[in-house]
A and B are shown apart, each in its own frame.
Chain A
Amino acid sequence: MMPAMTAEPMLRAKGVNKSFGALKVLFDVDFHVMPGEAVGIVGPNGAGKTTLFGALAGSFPVSSGAIQLAGRDLSGTSAAERCRLGLARTHQVPRPFLGMTVFENVHVAARSGAGMDQASATATAADILRRTGLLALANRPAAALGLLDRKRLEVARALATGPTVILLDEIGGGLTEAELVALVDLIRSLQAGGLTVVWIEHILHALLRVVTRLVCMAEGRVLTQGDPRDVMAHPEVQRAYLGSSPE
């Protein structure tokens, strides 16, 4: 179900280019996500997907092009400001604050990212830990968590910042089938609550249960985007996938 053409995209990248020194990583990337929509990003390793997330979240400035959140130009805003504007991001390799407890990890995001006071940050952190299945581990140091729980914490911390858009970077990798089902249910429930989702994922069957549109990237460019079946049937997508690593 596509929103009407007149509606404003929630998140939009316009002609985004990014070079690190002599290495050019993103070439004229154009894509948008409508409010409440769930969009998947696929593509072989090295396609620039994670770099695109870094550009969207403000981890580094883009070389040229623009990024807009709900029509607002984000150039010149720091990662922290974008977070407070409602743009949250998870990392492919989880980056918990190791010296702090699971609860503190989520609490700091609720306090600083969502700007909550002490009491509501505490309540929110507890609620999010329950929804992400981490409540029993709330008082453990984050350093004691295994990979799966670190991935959960990564999502919980992003949710605690009170986002309107969440960028999920390969949170499904390494999960069992049952855990994937739980993850898909969680993301669908978030989306049902109005959250806009952009999800980079290699596990297509999980991704396709959530997203209604796919963007396929290869070598720093958007190859094609649109209906998931059309995108996956696209000859260049087939070639990009089969050409790098057979799945």
Chain B
Amino acid sequence: MLDSLIQGILLGGYYAVLAAGLSLMFGVVRFINLAHGDMAVLGALGSLWLVQSAGVGVPLAIVFTLLGMAALGWLMQRFIFERALAGGFLIPILTTIGLGAALQNGMFAAFGSDTKSLGAHIGNLSWASWELPGGIFVGQLPVYMFATAVLVLGALHLLLTRTAFGRAVRATSTDAEAASLCGVDPRKVHRWAAAIAVALAGLAGIFLAMRAQVTPFSGPMMLIFAFEAVVIGGIGSLRGTLIGGIVLGVVQALGALISPQISILAGHLVFLAVLGWRLMQVAAAERGGWRAALSAALNKPDLSRRQA
């Protein structure tokens, strides 16, 4: 139980990094990138290619992958997403579904369908562990990943709250037109936000490649996990994203206690419960709060309001 809890929390760091990019794109650029998971897989397979075929060391491969993914994000925003956004709300969805399909099949053509892992290239890190008092073993890799996730999201939080660039990002995300009248160029802000978001997807992909197996078709599942973490944690706050990732990880780990087949389903169910709760909250607020909404639903006279 405690063991699963710890594993789940550590897994949550990975989900949070994956979700942060999706959340950033939605929060700042108002763009839902349905190819986010596939971009994460691209990061995973790209780093694998660098290590296995190009003979680059793992640390350098991580750096190259993150820089490459950031460049890709910037270019995607500049040449594809910007135009898609101008076409209304449906075009970005169609564009990124198509982009995701093209990425999946492109990666299949380039890398084949073999499942691959970075696990064989990181020494004993993939199985080394520490023993905690009480006989609980904690894998070193999950701990390092979680620490990296917290550091990265913390640094991103500081970037957004403490720097001039961060203020420009927040101003643009609140009101792009008013920001442009303050001299902020929203298009530039959007491009850099996309660069960060896709680099985060790449980092999540590297995490996945280290801890598990990747195939060119792993992306859609990653997208679903990212969405779930974002919805559970609430959009627009990095702390919320971290909490959302941890909740998802813990629920999956606890679900696996019952049965390995329930693990992922448990995550979906919690996601649906949170989503349902949020929708009911909105509906209740529209009817003047929970009490009014409940008494209306139960067909009783509304005690919280007097008749005028």
Is the CB–CB distance between B183 and A161 below 8 Å? yes
Known pairs A97-B171, A121-B164; A108 contacts B178 (CB<8 A): no
Cβ of B181 under 8 Å from chain A: yes
| A112 and B168 within 8 A (CB) | yes
Q: Which of A61-114 contact B (CB under 8 A)?
A: 78-81, 83-84, 88-89, 91, 95-100, 104-105, 107-109, 111-114
| With A97-B174, A98-B174 as contacts: A108 and B168 at CB distance below 8 Å | yes
* Cα separation A98 to B170 with both chains bound (whole Å): 10
Task: Let me know if B43 is at the binding interface, CB within 8 A.
Answer: no
Is there an interface contact between A118 and B183, defined as CB atoms closer than 8 Å?
no
Contact with B along A169-213 (1 / 0, CB 8 A): 000000000000000000000000000000000000000000000
Q: Which residues of B contact A81 (CB under 8 A)?
A: 185
Judge if A115 is at the interface, Cβ distance under 8 Å. Answer: yes
Q: Is B177 an interface residue, CB under 8 A from the partner?
A: yes
Cβ–Cβ contact A113 & B183, under 8 A: yes
**Closest Cβ of chain B: how far from A97's Cβ, in Å?**
4
Q: Is the CB of B174 within 8 A of A99?
A: yes
Asked whether, in the complex, the Cβ of A83 is within 8 Å of the Cβ of B180, the reply is yes
Q: Which of A84, A88, A111, A114 is the most central at the interface, judged by chain B CB atoms within 10 Å of its CB?
A: A111
Contacts of B183 in A (CB 8 A): 80, 83-84, 109, 112-115, 161
Contact assessment for B179 and A97 in the assembled complex, using a CB-CB cutoff below 8 Å: yes
> What residue of chain B has the Cβ atom nearest to residue A154's Cβ?
B178
Q: Which of chain B's residues has its CB closest to A104's CB? A: B167
Interface flag for A222 (CB, 8 Å)? no
B23 smallest CB distance to A (angstroms): 15
Contact between B164 and A80 (Cβ–Cβ < 8 Å)?
no
Number of cross-chain contacts by CB at 8 Å: 79
- What 1/0 flags go to B191-222 for Cβ under 8 Å of A? 00000000000000000000000000000000
The verdict on A80 contacting B186 (CB below 8 Å), with A59-B177, A95-B178 known, is yes
> Per-residue CB proximity of B157-183 to A under 8 Å, as 1/0?
000000010011011011101111111
When distances are taken between beta carbons in the complex, the residues of chain B under 8 Å from A39 are none
Q: Tell yes or no: A214 within 8 A of B by CB.
A: no
Q: Across the interface, which residues of A come within 8 angstroms of B168, CB to CB?
A: 108, 111-112
Q: What is the bound-complex CA distance between A78 and B179, given in angstroms?
A: 12
Q: Out of A80, A107, A157, name the residue touching B180 (CB < 8 Å).
A: A80
Confirm or deny: A165 has a beta carbon within 8 angstroms of a beta carbon on chain B: no
**Given known contacts A97-B171, A100-B174, A118 and B164 CB-to-CB distance under 8 angstroms:** yes
6 additional contacts (CB under 8 A) given A59-B180, A113-B183: A80-B183, A97-B171, A99-B170, A104-B167, A108-B182, A112-B179
Residues of B within 8 A of A (CB): 164, 167-168, 170-171, 173-175, 177-186
Can you offer 18 A-B residue contacts whose CB atoms are under 8 A? A59-B177, A80-B180, A80-B186, A83-B180, A83-B181, A95-B178, A96-B178, A97-B174, A98-B174, A100-B167, A107-B164, A108-B167, A108-B182, A112-B182, A113-B182, A113-B184, A161-B182, A161-B183
